[in-house]
Structure formats: C-alpha cells, structure tokens
Amino acid sequence: MMKESDIQLLNEIARFEDSHDMVKEYKIGWGWRHVRIWPATLSRLFKDGYLETVFQSNSFTGYRLSDLGKKVVAGEKVDVTGVSPQLEPQKITLPDDLFEDIIGHDEVKELLRASLMAEKPVHVLLGGPPALAKTLFLWDIERACGEEKAIWLVGSATSKAGLWDLVAQREPQVLMIDELDKMNAADMAALLSMMEGGRLVRAKVGRELNLSQALWVLAATNRVDVLAPELRSRFAIRRLNPYSRAEYLTVVKGVLVRREDTSPELAEEIAQRLDGRTQDVREAIRVARLAPQVGVEKAVHLLLGD
C-alpha cells in the first residue's frame, strides 16, 4: 500500500508539471527547490519508481514523474509489487581530493575516511583546543556528501524545529555537529537514540522516525570532558593535539599561502616570527592580514604585545 502522504506529494508534483512547460522550462527536469520537497524524499520516490531522473550531476538531479507516478496521480490501481525498489541507500562516494586543503593530521583523515566507507556507522568526534582544523574537517565532509545527504548543525544554534524533526524530514545520511558540547538537552536526547540507529523511536506523540537508513554522526568540540558519558561512549573520540613547533611552521605557511594569498616569503617570515610565541594558526592569519599595512614586526607587536 502506498502512503497517503506520498500520493499527495505526487499530486503536488503533477500540478507543478501541469503548470509549467516541461519541454521548454525544465528540459533537464525539475529539482527539489522547484517543487519544494526535500531531496531525500524525492530520492525515495525515485527509488520506488514514481519518478525518473532526466539529468544528474554532482550538484543537481533533474526529475520528472514516471509513468508509474502518473498512474498514481490518475488514481489508477497500481501494482506496486511489480516494481522492484532499490532499497539500498546510495553509498557515499568520497573524492580523492577530500581533505586536500587540510595540512597534516594524516591519521584523522584515515579514520574519517574509513568511518564513512564502513558498511555501518562509526561515529567520530574530533576533540581538542581551538584552531586545529576540526571545523575544516566537517566542512570538507559536508561538501563531499552534498546537501542531499548531509546536514550541518552548530550545537549552539540548533534549529527551533529541533534535531528530531530535522532528521525525520530530511533523512540525511550524515549529520555534522560542530560545537557539540553546546547542544541543548532535547536535541542531545534525540541524538542519543539516533546514534544507536535501526530502531523505531518516538519523539513526540504521532511522530515516529524509522531510521531504516543508517545515520553517520561526525562532530567536533573543544571540550570532550564535559560531555555525558553515554554520549562519549557512542563516538570514536579522536583528540587532536596542539601543533608541535615544526608542525606549526608548516601549517602556518600552508594556510597563509593557500588561503590568504600571502606570498611564500612573507608567510615564511610570519611563521618564523611567531615560532615559539603562539601555537594558534588564527594568530598567524591576523598577522598576515595586518602586515601589508604595518609590516610583520609591527603587526606581531600590536597583536601579541611584547
């Protein structure tokens, strides 16, 4: 039996298609933004055979109603047993240049890759002091997974709708949570159940979430120690250590040249001047931004004092 809500969705889609010229306006199909239906829902309707894809690229999937979808809209009896749904979730494919912009941290890269390639979820939490590229890791993964599969959250700013509804609506495969330690208690409770996966869990009356699609959780925090033990237990926790002096030099030079458009000579000078004075990459970025006006020496003096 097809869900009533899915039939409604197909009807909305049919109305959209009827009110536009599909050949002229939507030659490559329409996307989720056009019909205002979450990508995960569309890909489910596609897997069940009600939609077909006209076009596919990394950033856009163009759909249109399939013959089966049209039959449903027309109210014809549909023999769904004849359709073989591909229930396998699309596997995440990771590009070779994932984490290319992150210098060092080789084992963290390996761990995250292995976690994402695993058959079943291994959740990973990156812990450690500021400015060690934790957020950068989450960004890179989000970009690689794409907006259909990944949801990005910041603990201190979780949406009003709440984590539960967000995941129920969008059915992501990967959940990225930055500043995990600042997440509110309700979202935290939801997260604990989701991370165990597979079961039918109930948040509020009338709202059930069937996590048939496995969910990977990747998170970052400055403060692993303040997290509840049951939350910590659900993660593979990887603590990033502050950079050694040699690492700091390498990272600073790399970041300044690649991301701040600093010349290699100036980057070298800044790295040398800060060597032994700070381990914070952000400090080097500030110096690089002030240096064109006041020079490196003065910039260091103004920012760090004597």
Ligand X SMILES: Nc1ncnc2c1ncn2[C@@H]1O[C@H](COP(=O)(O)OP(=O)(O)OP(=O)(O)O)[C@@H](O)[C@H]1O
Residues that bind Mg ion (CB under 5 A): 135
Q: Which does 130 bind (CB under 5 to 8 A by kind): Mg ion, ligand X, none?
A: ligand X
Q: Which does 143 bind (CB under 5 to 8 A by kind): Mg ion, ligand X, none?
A: none
Q: Which does 104 bind (CB under 5 to 8 A by kind): ligand X, Mg ion, none?
A: ligand X
Task: Using the minimum distance from each CB to ligand X, give the nearer residue, 251 or 270.
Answer: 251
Closest CB 113 distance from ligand X, rounded Å: 16
Q: Which does 133 bind (CB under 5 to 8 A by kind): ligand X, Mg ion, none?
A: ligand X
Q: Which does 271 bind (CB under 5 to 8 A by kind): ligand X, Mg ion, none?
A: none
Task: Using the minimum distance from each CB to Mg ion, give the nearer residue, 53 or 135.
Answer: 135
Distance of CA 26 to the CA centre of its chain: 28
Rounded CA gap, 234 and 118, in Å?
Answer: 16
Could you give the dihedral angle defined by the CA atoms of residues 99, 133, 109 and 102, in that order, rounded to the nearest 10 degrees? Answer: 40
User: Nearest-CB residue to ligand X?
Assistant: 130
Rounded CA gap, 133 and 283, in Å?
Answer: 14
Rounded CA gap, 195 and 144, in Å?
Answer: 21
Are the C-beta atoms of 146 and 41 separated by less than 8 Å?
Answer: no
Closest CB 138 distance from Mg ion, rounded Å: 8
Closest CB 138 distance from ligand X, rounded Å: 8
Closest CA to 285 of 251, 252, 247, 258: 252
Task: Using the minimum distance from each CB to ligand X, give the nearer residue, 131 or 231.
Answer: 131
Are the C-beta atoms of 260 and 288 separated by less than 8 Å?
Answer: yes
Identify each DSSP E strand in 8-164 by its residue range. Answer: 51-56, 61-65, 124-127, 150-154
**Binding footprint of ligand X on the chain (CB under 6 A):** 102-105, 130-136, 220, 222, 251, 255, 259, 281-282, 285
Rounded CA gap, 47 and 58, in Å?
Answer: 18
Q: How many C-beta atoms lie closer than 10 Å to residue 228's C-beta?
A: 11
Closest CB 218 distance from ligand X, rounded Å: 13
Q: Which does 85 bind (CB under 5 to 8 A by kind): ligand X, Mg ion, none?
A: none
Task: Using the minimum distance from each CB to ligand X, give the nearer residue, 95 or 130.
Answer: 130
Closest CB 292 distance from Mg ion, rounded Å: 27
